[in-house]
Structure 1
Amino acid sequence: MPSYDEIRDFIGDIAVMQFDRLIEFVEENYDFDKEIYFGGKNYGVLVRFRKNGKTLLSIFPEKNGFSIVLVYGKKEIEQFENRKNEYSSFITSIYDATKQYHDGKWLLIRIEDDRYLNELIEMIKIKKKPNKKVV
């Protein structure tokens, strides 16, 4: 299992800044445990934030970027739909292309630079309101 620093090194210089910003946002605003987890041969190593058996989000480190898996249930889908016009075509196209299952949508969003990180943070806030007031 790689260390946290090895994961950061693997991601690369540009994307690791966004990775760090995302991790910092989650750690400052949520009371979830950060864990490095091996998801099996199909998924590899991931960093996930969990509490009481529930996952806030999973981050899959990749070369020159990382992908986020964010699961939206019915309530989150409704909230996103109500705010859909606030998001870029990149985010809405991922949302629209994601199949809806009986338990919701499993959104996979790749981040390579800072273009969509703020939108991703807003999507996390839909999933769970921050413990602290976020400006």
Structure 2
Amino acid sequence: MSIGLFTDKGNQPTEAQVRDAVGTKLPLWQDLIRAIRERYSVREDFKFLYGKNYGWAVRFRVKGELLVSLFPTQGGFIAQVILSSDAIENALAMEMSKNVQQAITRANPYPEGRWLFIPVETEEDLSDVQQLVEMRAQTKRLLKK
């Protein structure tokens, strides 16, 4: 099973297709994108990431560094946040939503940290993902000056 819904590299989905796919979670999708744009000096693109097991995603970068990627799914979306080992320890010490806790548990540790794939289904998930994105930004010094 793929992370995102749109896995055909040769067929970039339209904005309307993405909105339709995200469905009832569209307000969460829009709120997260708005918060990212307001908080960080991002460059964003819609890109086919990592192959067919992941698919098309909205990718937000700051100073050439990945901040967060959002993968549309059927009836929702998944946020990808890459956190360092130290940031993972901080996240584990916080009271995060079940979806965030499961994403941390499932993620394989790599030298650069862990790739978290978090289904954003509730306001709590949204808030937690925003906190994790902030951790990523602080670790990589990606905050607006």
Q: Equivalent of 1:21, from 31, 34, 40?
A: 31
Q: Which amino acid counterpart does residue 115 of structure 2 have in structure 1?
A: W
CA offset digits 1:67-124 (Å, max 9, x no partner): 111101234224324xx23323442232133221122111110123434111111111
2:133 matched to 1:120? Answer: no
TM-score, length-normalised on structure 1? 0.82
Gaps of 5+ in 1: none
**Aligned counterparts of 1:41 and 1:107: Cα–Cα separation in 2:** 18
**Aligned counterparts of 1:17 and 1:101: Cα–Cα separation in 2:** 33
Shift of 1:131: 2.8
TM-score, length-normalised on structure 2? 0.77
Conserved 8 A contact 1:4-1:36: no
Q: What RMSD in Å do the two structures reach over aligned CA positions? A: 2.0
Q: Which amino acid counterpart does residue 107 of structure 1 have in structure 2?
A: L
Deviates more, 1:16-25 or 1:109-118: 109-118
Distance change (3 Å), C-alpha of 1:11 and 1:28? same
Conserved 8 A contact 1:33-1:49: yes
Query: What secondary structure does 1:131 align onto?
Result: coil
Corresponding pairs, count:
129
Distance change (3 Å), C-alpha of 1:115 and 1:85? closer
Distance change (3 Å), C-alpha of 1:36 and 1:126? same
Q: Which amino acid counterpart does residue 32 of structure 1 have in structure 2?
A: V
**Aligned counterparts of 1:128 and 1:102: Cα–Cα separation in 2:** 18
2:110 matched to 1:110? Answer: no
Gaps of 5+ in 2: 1-11
Deviates more, 1:34-43 or 1:62-71: 34-43
Q: Corresponding residue for 1:77? A: 88
Q: Corresponding residue for 2:73? A: 62
Conserved 8 A contact 2:99-2:118: no
**Aligned counterparts of 1:73 and 1:85: Cα–Cα separation in 2:** 15
Query: What secondary structure does 2:54 align onto?
Result: coil
Conserved 8 A contact 1:65-1:113: no
2:15 matched to 1:4? Answer: yes
